[in-house]
Structure 1
Amino acid sequence: MPYTSFKDFYPYYLGEHQNRTCRRLHFVGSALVLLLLLAALLRGQAALLWLLPVIGYGFAWVGHFFFEKNRPATFKHPLYSLMGDWVMFWQMLRGQIRF
């Protein structure tokens, strides 16, 4: 289904993340991305930035393929999916979504 706004997409995105372990893996991957980004900036090691998508998507895709048993939304909606990752991360961090 084509989405014309992130507001329309996000309920679909949340529906693709009903499995608690999948959400936890997303959260861990996103947290590690932030820590790695900070480490790369503080140490001046730009080469570490190449690991960001590996860590971020790696944890998320394990969650989808092995626990949620669905195909990540990234494959069809890459930008909205990336935005959804971070909105969901902050909502979990604030306790708005259970993880």
Structure 2
Amino acid sequence: MSKDPVREWILSEGKASKITKISPVGGGCINFANRYDTDAGSFFVKTNRSIGPSMFEAEALGLGAMYETETIRVPKPYKVGPLPTGGSFIIMEFIEFGGSRGDQF
């Protein structure tokens, strides 16, 4: 397993040649969330250091089903996997929602 599977996916399957910035994104209390800015666009990445991939696999299935309907704007899920130190991650499309209104729950 790669030392950093998120970075590895973004720089290969995500078609980026470099990650220009990683910024924390607020609004959650169970997972860590970050925006990865790259030369190929931005990605939204959630990680959880104590829960295996099954939680994010279920999230990706639900998001994928909603995304396919083209009736509601949800992020397209790209990749779910385990972290080498335990826990898991999900990489998805980053959606810019406009002006900030603070953390939203």
Normalising by structure 2, we get a TM-score of 0.27
Normalising by structure 1, we get a TM-score of 0.28
Larger strand fraction of residues:
2
Larger helix fraction of residues:
1
